[in-house]
Amino acid sequence: MGYRTAETNITVQLVHLRLNAAQMAHCQALRREAGRCWTALVQAHLASRAGLWLDEGALKTQFKGQFALHSQTVQALAEKLIANVETARELRKTDPDRLRNKRHTALNIRLKRCVPNSRRHKKLLRSKARASAKFYRQGRDVLHKASRQLVTFAVAEQVAHLAVGDVRDIADGTDKGRQQNQRLSQWAHGQFVGYIKIKARQCGISVEYIPEDYSTRTCSVCRYCHRAAPRGRVFTCSGCGAIVSRDGNGAANICSRYRYGEYGQVQVQALTYLRATAVVPRTRAKVAGLPPEATPR
């Protein structure tokens, strides 16, 4: 096996050991000790999240000499933990749906290679089902938390009615390409609205679907309907020159349609994002000449 990174090229050789019973028992004891050390490291890391963050060096110093292990083993375990933390941090940045699809594809490839109904086949099917269930639970958790946040906000602002843009037919009769089609079909909007309805009703707030055709393309200030949806997160109107956030413009239009039956009656006054967000990400949308303070926050 060879591991190649930017600077190093390490070759690992696997050597079969012939061990007697006593040596085997010793190995097992060491493995258990390493497990104990790992658990202690994880606990220390979790505890440190609330206060002073323990980095790799601090972990190594804290656990040095506390276990019946070679100091380098403890160091290696600490390094592994920090590597795991960093990997998890990177993964959190990526789309969970894409992660699920990747995992499913990998398992499907392995499933194809083995004999149907063999033990290996059954084992892989089980792990596919386990992964599926886990991703479902993770997604459900996110939707519950988001809907709770929305309803809490609505209660605090004394909102009586919620208008939700109806996207139930968004994927009907359109082909937006392989990736976008998959993304649309996996978008759990119905589940999300369902959770909002349950939580909102408990607080006496009504929830209603509003058709949202052309709401992204229509200017909420002058009602000019553009030929295409804006590229990027900023909506720039070529009719009246208004510069609004894309999300804010769409939300204002849906609110206007609910309240007055048409677009253009409601404008965005202030917009607050709960998390820092790149206003001009990925796309090559031209928002040149846009002063930085005009970007929505």
Where do contacts with Zn ion occur on this chain (CB under 5 A)? 219, 221-222, 224, 237, 239-240, 242
CA distances from 145 to 89, 139, 151 (A): 20, 10, 10
Instruction: Considering the complex, state which of residue 83 and residue 222 has its C-beta at the smaller distance from Zn ion.
Output: 222
Least CB distance to Zn ion at residue 265 (A): 14
CA distances from 10 to 1, 76, 87 (A): 8, 16, 21
Least CB distance to Zn ion at residue 222 (A): 3
Instruction: Considering the complex, state which of residue 165 and residue 230 has its C-beta at the smaller distance from Zn ion.
Output: 230
Least CB distance to Zn ion at residue 104 (A): 44
Instruction: Considering the complex, state which of residue 147 and residue 245 has its C-beta at the smaller distance from Zn ion.
Output: 245
Instruction: Considering the complex, state which of residue 68 and residue 222 has its C-beta at the smaller distance from Zn ion.
Output: 222
Least CB distance to Zn ion at residue 157 (A): 27
CA distances from 210 to 32, 69, 201 (A): 59, 64, 18
Cα 198–Cα 203–Cα 209 angle in degrees, nearest 5: 50
Q: Which of 131, 127, 130 is nearest to 114 (CA)?
A: 127
Q: How far apart are the C-alpha atoms of 37 and 26, rounded to whole Å?
A: 16
Least CB distance to Zn ion at residue 190 (A): 32
Instruction: Considering the complex, state which of residue 128 and residue 226 has its C-beta at the smaller distance from Zn ion.
Output: 226
Q: How far apart are the C-alpha atoms of 275 and 293, rounded to whole Å?
A: 17
